[in-house]
């Protein structure tokens, strides 16, 4: 049974993450929001520290982790676990209390790393160890409908030849490699979609442009063209076999891991806004009483209590999704519920906090307006709000994607 208290073994990591957020990320937040596309060199030291923690085993959850189902019977008997997924969610929440864009800029912590951790075989896990990997799914004509990917991968001898275009690739310019989703056979639909690790500098892979964005400006977002890009067949993650019964569940398993992480980002950003707003209200003489009914309090305090409750519900859903992943339980439903709830909550909370703080929230004097801008993407990438609701509906009703579109 899940315990909702923070596991004792994770508390040092969470404390360290908060210190990093307070002393490194937040002080540099405005700087790299303004200097869009400039690499935050301050993160190199932090990345080295995380590598050290991961190597020593003292920082479980400090690095990108995955959702894997291939455990042995002996592992199933070890009892309840509070492992790397829960630790990652809790530490990411703290880091995004500092700055979401800078978190997304951390070396070797890209979404592609989570894909490798979730889908790669043992040989690939070892070979791509230490590689910073972005993830390329979205295409100009394919956004939320990942099953309709048009980028192709054709086997030619010992290599796959990739052709297509990918957009909105987080950490695309800075990463060492990109995990590219492509189809082996369009006629077989989603079952033929696989993910490939394409290392930077591979002939036929071209960085087309960097995007200018509303939020998370510290994180570079790139577009790529693949023209007869030849990739070793060993770089196809997982099995090359096409299983029409399984669909593209193998590739989609990545989202079982990354959606709770994005939910944690929204939680961290919203927490920062709530803390700032509560302190500002207190300075103005409006104290929030957590023991008194909301309707008996100042209107601003009542609103803040409602926002706090909304945050708490998203937090609990996110913990459940991560906990299930740690305990090798199917968590696709919970991951989508957490992402949907936290994504919407993050946007709602930050914008309401801007409203409550008036001119101080709208100006660049403080970071609240930035948190409002950053939070919007967390309701969009890794599957939009609408897609998450569709996935939840399919799971609850027991319907396939063909039955409920």
pLDDT for 18 beyond 80: yes
CA 113-140-248 angle, to 5 degrees, is 50
**Each residue's pLDDT tens digit, 28-48:** 999 999 999 999 999 988 877
pLDDT for 289 beyond 90: yes
pLDDT for 372 beyond 50: yes
Q: Quick one: angle between helices 84-98 and 11-20, nearest 10?
A: 20
61: left (phi over 0), alpha (psi -120 to 50) or beta: left
Lowest model confidence (mean pLDDT) among 79-83, 125-129, 188-192: 79-83
Q: Are 128 and 197 in contact (CB under 8 A)?
A: yes
In SS3 terms, the chain reads as CCCCCCCHHHHHHHHHHHHHHHHHHHHHHHHHHHCCCCCCCCHHHHHHHHHHHHHHCCCCCCCCCCCCCCCCHHHHCCCCCCCHHHHHHHHHHHHHHHCHHHHCCCCCCCHHHHHHHHHCCHHHHHHCCCCCEEEECCECCECCCHHHCCCEEEEECCEEEEEEEEEEEECCCCCCEEEEEEECCHHHHHHHEEEEEEECCCCCEEEEEECCCCCCCCCCEEEEEEEEEEEEHHHECCCCCCCCCCCCHHHHHHHHHHHHHHHHHHHHHHHHHHHHHHHHHHHCCCCCCCCCCHHHCCHHHHHHHHHHHHHHHHHHHHHHHHHHHHCCCCCHHHHHHHHHHHHHHHHHHHHHHHHHHCHHHHCCCCCHHHHHHHHHHCCCCCCCHHHHHHHHHHHHHCCCCCCCC
Indicate the pLDDT class of residue 173, thresholds 50, 70 and 90.
very high
Q: How far is CA 48 from CA 42, 45, 178, 245, in A?
A: 11, 5, 21, 43
Indicate the pLDDT class of residue 7, thresholds 50, 70 and 90.
confident
Would you state the pLDDT for residue 273? 98
| Residue 198, beta-bridge partner list | 178
Residue numbers annotated as active site? 382
Give the pLDDT mean for 140-159.
89
CA distance 192 to 200: 24
Would you state the pLDDT for residue 143? 79
398: left (phi over 0), alpha (psi -120 to 50) or beta: left
Hey, which of 47-51, 253-257, 328-332 has the most confident mean pLDDT?
328-332
What's CA 320's distance to the chain center, in Å? 16
What average pLDDT does the chain have?
Answer: 89
CA distance 309 to 300: 14
**Each residue's pLDDT tens digit, 249-281:** 555 667 887 899 999 999 999 999 999 999 999
In sequence order, the 6+-apart residues with CB closer than 8 A to the CB of 397 are 404
CA distance 287 to 400: 49
Residue 68 phi, psi (nearest 5): -120, 140
Q: Are 196 and 182 in contact (CB under 8 A)?
A: yes
Percent of the chain predicted with pLDDT > 70: 90
pLDDT for 313 beyond 70: yes
| Residue 230, beta-bridge partner list | 161
Would you state the pLDDT for residue 79? 63
CA distance 344 to 388: 11
pLDDT for 334 beyond 60: yes
Give the pLDDT mean for 357-365.
94
**Each residue's pLDDT tens digit, 178-212:** 999 999 999 888 889 999 999 999 999 999 999 99
Which domains are assigned to the chain? 8-127 (1.10.540), 133-235 (2.40.110.10), 249-397 (1.20.140.10)
CA 365-370-374 angle, to 5 degrees, is 175
Would you state the pLDDT for residue 242? 84
Residue 306 phi, psi (nearest 5): -65, -40
Q: How far is CA 258 from CA 41, 104, 269, in A?
A: 25, 12, 17
Q: Are 256 and 66 in contact (CB under 8 A)?
A: no
Indicate the pLDDT class of residue 61, thresholds 50, 70 and 90.
very low
**Each residue's pLDDT tens digit, 216-239:** 999 999 999 999 999 999 999 988
The single residue listed with the structure tokens 């056979």 is 185
Q: How far is CA 26 from CA 22, 97, 114, 361, in A?
A: 6, 8, 25, 16
Looking at per-residue pLDDT, the higher value among 62 and 215 belongs to 215
């Amino acid at each position: 049974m899940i315990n909702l208290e923070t596991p004792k073994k994770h508390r040092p990591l969470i404390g360290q993450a908060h210190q990093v957020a307070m002393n490194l990320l937040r002080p540099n937040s405005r700087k790299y929001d303004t200097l869009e596309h400039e690499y935050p060199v301050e993160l190199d030291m932090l990345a080295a520290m995380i590598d050290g923690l991961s190597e020593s085993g003292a920082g479980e959850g400090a690095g990108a982790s995955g959702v894997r189902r291939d455990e042995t019977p002996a592992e199933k008997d070890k009892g309840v676990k509070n492992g790397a997924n829960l630790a990652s969610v809790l530490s990411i929440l703290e880091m995004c209390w500092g700055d979401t864009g800078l978190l997304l800029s951390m070396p070797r912590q890209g979404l592609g790393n989570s894909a490798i951790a979730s889908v790669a075989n043992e040989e690939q896990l070892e070979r791509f160890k230490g590689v910073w990997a972005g993830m390329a799914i979205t295409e100009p004509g394919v956004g939320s409908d990942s099953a309709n990917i048009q980028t192709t991968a054709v086997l030619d001898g010992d290599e796959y030849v990739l052709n297509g275009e990918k957009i909105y690739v987080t950490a695309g310019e800075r990463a060492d490699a990109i995990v590219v989703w492509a189809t082996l056979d369009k006629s077989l639909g989603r079952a033929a979609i696989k993910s490939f690790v394409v290392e930077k500098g591979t002939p036929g892979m071209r960085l087309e442009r960097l995007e200018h964005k509303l939020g998370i400006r510290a994180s570079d977002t790139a577009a790529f063209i693949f023209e007869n890009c030849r990739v070793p067949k060993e770089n196809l993650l997982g099995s090359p076999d096409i299983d029409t019964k399984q669909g593209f569940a193998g590739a989609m398993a990545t989202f079982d891991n990354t959606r709770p992480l994005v939910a944690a980002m929204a939680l961290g950003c919203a927490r920062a806004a709530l803390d700032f707003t509560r302190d500002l209200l207190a300075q103005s003489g409006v104290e929030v009483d957590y023991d008194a009914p909301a309707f008996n309090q100042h209107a601003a305090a009542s609103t803040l209590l409602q926002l706090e409750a909304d945050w708490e519900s998203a937090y609990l859903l996110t913990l459940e999704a991560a906990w299930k992943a740690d305990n090798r339980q199917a968590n696709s439903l919970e991951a989508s519920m957490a992402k949907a709830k936290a994504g919407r909550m993050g946007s709602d909370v930050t914008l309401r906090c801007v409203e409550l703080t008036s001119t101080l929230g709208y100006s660049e004097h403080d970071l609240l307006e930035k948190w409002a801008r950053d939070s919007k993407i967390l309701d969009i990438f890794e599957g939009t709000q609408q897609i998450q609701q569709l996935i939840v509906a399919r799971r609850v009703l027991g319907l396939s994607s063909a039955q409920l579109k």
